[in-house]
Amino acid sequence: MTERLFTLAVWMSAALVAVVLVWVIGDLVRLGIPHLSLDFLFAAPRDAGRNGGIGPILVSTVLIIGVTLTAALPLGLMAAVWLAEFTTRGHALGKAIRLSLDVMAGVPSIVFGLFGNAFFSIYLGMGFSILSGGLTLACMILPVFIRTCEVGLAAVTDTWRQGAAALGMTRTAAIWHVLLPAASPAIAAGMVLGIGRATAETAALIFTSGYVDRMPESLWDSGRSLAVHIYDLSMNISGGDTAADAAALVLITLIVLFNMLAQWLSDRWLHRRLVA
Amino acid sequence: MTNYSESPYTLGSIDEAVACCAPKPQLKVRALSVSYGDRRVLETVSMDIYRGCITALIGPSGCGKTSLLTSINRLTDMLPSARVEGSVCFEGQEILDTTVDTLRLRRRIGMIFQKPNPFPISIRRNLELPLREHGVRKRSERASRAEQALRDVGLWEEVKERLDSSALSLSGGQQQRLCIARALVLEPEILLMDEPCSALDPISSAVVEELILRLRGRYTIVIVTHNLAQAKRVANYAGFFWMTERVGKLIEFGQCQRLFDTPAHALTQAYVDGVRG
Ligand SMILES: Nc1ncnc2c1ncn2[C@@H]1O[C@H](COP(=O)(O)OP(=O)(O)O)[C@@H](O)[C@H]1O
Ligand SMILES: [Mg+2]
């Protein structure tokens, strides 16, 4: 009896989540599709975004995420390797860093925005720029990315470390050829989380990459991300709602595309590690 | 060198294996002690390991057999708490010397673990990765040495069609033979085997045991086993370890047959009888 009830509860919960998800996405598609066209994707916004399109904004978004990943991936992987492979249990510095990462993972993104503004924009003189925004987002996603990768590496069985050492392989070779590929599902999961958060972020970008909706000419230009654009349209611009719905639909598609790309890249990399 | 026939094994038959009639010590272990933190687990072990022979180490769990093996290939370096004292002399060179190049040492002294531990990569890459790490640049050379190692362990016919599939898709016994091939591909002089059959089913275990017999003469083998019948079948020499006051000691060492038939020590007698009955 309880078995039946439990099974029912599990199915109901799953169904509820699915229904909510389908509703939200269905609503967006219903409201956004009429406004969506190739022209909308490529044209520059007019009337503060009520008309025209989101061309420059898409470009800025891709550039910002590009900067974020270029900075966060290598740095995060190295940090995770250091935490998982170079600190033993009870290592004081390792413990302190783990704790601060966990605290930083819970810090609201607006705080990262203020930090990015003070550090990248003002102190390092990057001003309001795609570079400054991308690096701020990198800081924001690093804590979760590092910890996800670290946990993935720590879960890799010790017998492979011993096996590699017993074959006279260096620790670097063991990490690069055996441990990282073995941890790649965790690394991919960390990347998906990070990309999702970065693409949806507004608060951390307003003070760093700014909200100029012109086509950026370089990474030093200010650029408006899609999430900022949606926020602006729905909060500040009267009559911007249909454009906001269409842009939101594009944003969701973009997140899915980014994740597919990340998956494809990590599969390809993995395939090369594993087989070639 | 051995004659290569068409049989899956290329090491020649068991009968052709070199007999150990005039053995020369290749490893001289002297007063070796191992501690983890301040707990001593193995005390003043002295024994000779003879070239080309199989030496079996027997004794109950926890008496330091694994610790002895990992001291010989310096895998103990990976454990910050492990301390090894005494001396292990390998062809005139002191292994425990801190200046020893452990990467080169481990190429010359391979190790097989209790649980088969092929890397989660393709069968081919399992064999070629160690070669590449040891500076074998030519792809064709890596491929031919990998094939030879697979033939040596009798695995070639079983896997030649699927070299690019994951090593984890192999059965337990095949995985263990792959691990042996992975050690052999580096052309080591000594193989340390830590209970290589105890995680395998009886049939795979018999296959691996036969393989070990075929390796005799070409390689010096030190094998830890809880299977006394196996020790008797394969080994030329045997060492019996026992724990007194939670510290492992080598109680008796000698020719395998002699140690089992006429043990010099009452503890050895009891262990051999006890497990037998
Ligand atoms: N990494 C380690 N840290 C602390 N103690 C260990 C470690 N490895 C083994 N020991 C201890 O050393 C003793 C001998 O272990 P081991 O060499 O594995 O014995 P055996 O292989 O004969 O079973 C055991 O009591 C075990 O608990
Ligand atoms: Mg053991």
User: Count of domains in chain A?
Assistant: 1
Whether A14 maps to a domain, the answer reads no
Residues 6+ apart with CB under 8 A from A81: A153, A175, A180
Whether A11 maps to a domain, the answer reads no
What pLDDT shows up at residue B19? 52
Whether A31 maps to a domain, the answer reads no
Minimal-distance CA residue of chain A relative to B76:
A162
Question: Could you tell me if the CB of B63 is within 6 A of ligand 1?
Answer: yes
Place of tokens 């009267």: A238
Cα–Cα distances (Å) from B76 to A168, A222, B38, B108, B225, in that order, read 13, 56, 15, 17, 20
Whether A27 maps to a domain, the answer reads no
What pLDDT shows up at residue B275? 60
Rounded to an integer, what distance in angstroms lies between the CA atom of residue B232 and that of residue B272? 11
A26 close to A222: Cβ distance less than 8 angstroms? no
Of B82, B170, B183, B43, nearest to B127 by C-alpha is B183
Of A146, B78, B140, nearest to B148 by C-alpha is B140
> Ligand 1 centre and the CA of B181: distance in Å?
27
Whether A1 maps to a domain, the answer reads no
Whether A188 maps to a domain, the answer reads yes
Question: Could you tell me if the CB of B65 is within 6 A of ligand 1?
Answer: yes
Q: Which of A167, A171, A272 to mutate to test the interface with B (most CBs of B within 10 A)?
A: A167
Rounded to an integer, what distance in angstroms lies between the CA atom of residue A113 and that of residue A93? 27
- The CATH number assigned to the domain holding A239 equals 1.10.3720.10
pLDDT tops 70 at residue B38:
yes
Question: Could you tell me if the CB of B64 is within 6 A of ligand 1?
Answer: yes
Domain housing A157 = 36-272
- Which residues are paired to B254 by β-bridges? B238
**Mean per-residue pLDDT, B50-73:** 95
pLDDT tops 80 at residue B276:
no
Q: Mean pLDDT of successive 10-residue segments in chain A (276 residues)? A: 91 95 91 88 88 92 95 95 88 92 94 96 95 97 95 92 95 92 87 90 93 91 93 89 91 88 77 59
Contact A162 B73 (CB under 8 A): no
Whether A168 maps to a domain, the answer reads yes
